[in-house]
Amino acid sequence: MNDSELRSVGPADILRDSALGSALLALNNAHAQELSWLEPERLEYLIGEAFLARRIGNFDAFLLAFDQDARYDSPNFLWFRARYPRFVYVDRIVVAASARGRGYARRLYDDLFEHAVRSGHDRVVCEVNQHPPNPASDAFHAALSFAEVGTATIYDGSRTVQYLSRDLTR
């Protein structure tokens, strides 16, 4: 297996390979403004609840997604749960600065779309920060045919997000 292949990540992987867990945590927390800070126990829990957890390499890219049945308390996830009976929610996707421009985010999303369709889902959802702004993420999600379905101000007004959905049936 080479360093650019997609690999699943499970809680056992994190427990068995502390370097992998540390690398994923460092990658996430380097982008905490866009994603949210995680402690090791929370990362392990989220991976255990995930519909899909994938990585490319140890430090290059990571995606974490949940379906509507996950035990997850994120206000963004709960926003979608209140509106859609069935969905796959992209909680976080991150590509290390050193790995940008290689198409890793698109590969992770394409893999997620395929997995969601095989599992009978017809919608993938996510949120993108409007405040603080994230123009690169806005452009990326627009190129993947995500459409805005709502907005919200969360975390005591410190963040405004745009909720996006992609229809997988077309």
Nearest residue to 141 (alpha-carbon basis) of 112, 98, 99 = 112
The answer on pLDDT for 16 being more than 60 is no
The answer on pLDDT for 144 being more than 70 is yes
Which amino acid type is present at position 165?
S
Nearest residue to 125 (alpha-carbon basis) of 167, 74, 165 = 165
The answer on pLDDT for 2 being more than 70 is no
The answer on pLDDT for 1 being more than 60 is no
> Cβ(65)–Cβ(52) under 8 Å?
yes
State the average pLDDT over residues 47-62: 86
State the average pLDDT over residues 142-163: 90
Greater pLDDT, 9 or 86:
86
DSSP E strand boundaries for 12-101: 52-56, 61-67, 88-95
Greater pLDDT, 149 or 63:
149
13 burial via Cβ count (<10 Å: 0-12, 13-18, 19+): middle
Mind listing the pLDDT tens digit for each residue in 82-141?
999 999 999 988 888 888 899 999 999 999 999 999 999 999 999 998 887 888 889 999
What is the per-residue pLDDT for 79? Answer: 97
The rounded percent of the chain whose pLDDT value lies above 70 is 84
112 burial via Cβ count (<10 Å: 0-12, 13-18, 19+): buried
**3 state DSSP class of 137:** helix
